[in-house]
Chains A and B, each alone.
Chain A
């Protein structure tokens, strides 16, 4: 808990300096007071845990964002093509995608990734599955989500051990 408090303090300090850009004594003091206040509030709300400052996974997360970016570009182009076609034909589909990620962070990462990719929106969230609405039938194939679930989990240190391709997910 102390560890995440210190991490949070460092991140907040960097954030303050990055946004303000001034180094006068008064403004730095105000920043310090704000940081102490924020950490006190977090402690009082009992949200100072491993997910308060998930910055230890920055390299993995950035790597994942690059991969996700590629997927987003591909999906965007597919949706643009569909939508701008004069004889537009769509096949809206609802599909249930199983979620094997264990941590809340990994699960929300996965659900957000689905929503972020145009053509698929996560509509409802259960304990072990996400209800996904897809614009086209071929976008709703559950196979498509397996790799994303693994990578989303791995990006925040949430390994899905049941699948054998997890170990080399980083090396690809």
Chain B
């Protein structure tokens, strides 16, 4: 909670200085809410990007790793962009950010499909059936299967 509070103050400081140069303390509630929503949204986006990265490292083959990467493409990026839109308010900047998020919404599945299709056409066989992540014992005893 302390860290979050600090984050809000940092965001607020940059906002007030850049927008009006108003004296510290004269912060309206709407800005506070906006900054809070923006910070929470960006943090949530980062959680998904982080899990996507972990997934790419943990999953066993090309096709399964695509799923983890897809997580970063969708909720991760969109939540971060949403946070930025809320932060920049009703401006031309947020219109551009909205367009960026819309185009990512269309292009990222197309790119994922292109990559998956290329791998499939090139003859890469997906590993099917049950796969269990190796435990610490497996790894230390040398047989990581």
Of B5-13, B14-22, B29-37, B58-66, the one contacting chain A is: B58-66
- Contacting residues, chain A, for B130 (C-beta < 8 A): 89-91
Smallest distance from the beta carbon of A96 to chain B beta carbons, Å?
13
Q: Which of B63, B96, B116, B121 sits near A92, CB closer than 8 Å?
A: B63
Q: Which of B67, B112, B116, B117 sits near A135, CB closer than 8 Å?
A: B67
- Contacting residues, chain A, for B61 (C-beta < 8 A): 92
Knowing A76-B48, A121-B113, A124-B117, say if A115 contacts B70 (CB, 8 Å): yes
CA distance A91 to B59 in the complex (A): 11
Which residues A71-85 have CB closer than 8 A to chain B? 72-73, 76, 79-80, 83-84
Q: Which of B51, B113, B128 sits near A115, CB closer than 8 Å?
A: B113
Knowing A18-B92, A87-B135, A133-B116, say if A76 contacts B71 (CB, 8 Å): yes
Is B4 interfacial (CB 8 A cutoff)? no
Main DSSP-derived SS at the B contact region: helix
Contact in complex: B131, A112 (CB < 8 Å): no
Contact in complex: B108, A133 (CB < 8 Å): no
Is A53 interfacial (CB 8 A cutoff)? no
CA distance A91 to B67 in the complex (A): 13
CA distance A166 to B68 in the complex (A): 32
Main DSSP-derived SS at the A contact region: mixed
- Contact string, B92-113, partner A, CB cutoff 8 A, digits 1/0? 1001100100000110111011
CA distance A19 to B54 in the complex (A): 36
- Contacting residues, chain B, for A119 (C-beta < 8 A): 67, 70
Is A116 interfacial (CB 8 A cutoff)? yes
Query: Can you pick out 10 interface pairs between chain A and chain B where the beta carbons lie within 8 Å of each other?
Result: A19-B96, A79-B51, A79-B71, A90-B60, A92-B61, A94-B126, A115-B116, A118-B75, A119-B67, A133-B126
Binding site for A on B (CB under 8 A): 47-48, 51, 54-55, 58-61, 63-64, 66-68, 70-71, 74-75, 92, 95-96, 99, 105-106, 108-110, 112-113, 116-117, 120-121, 126-133, 135
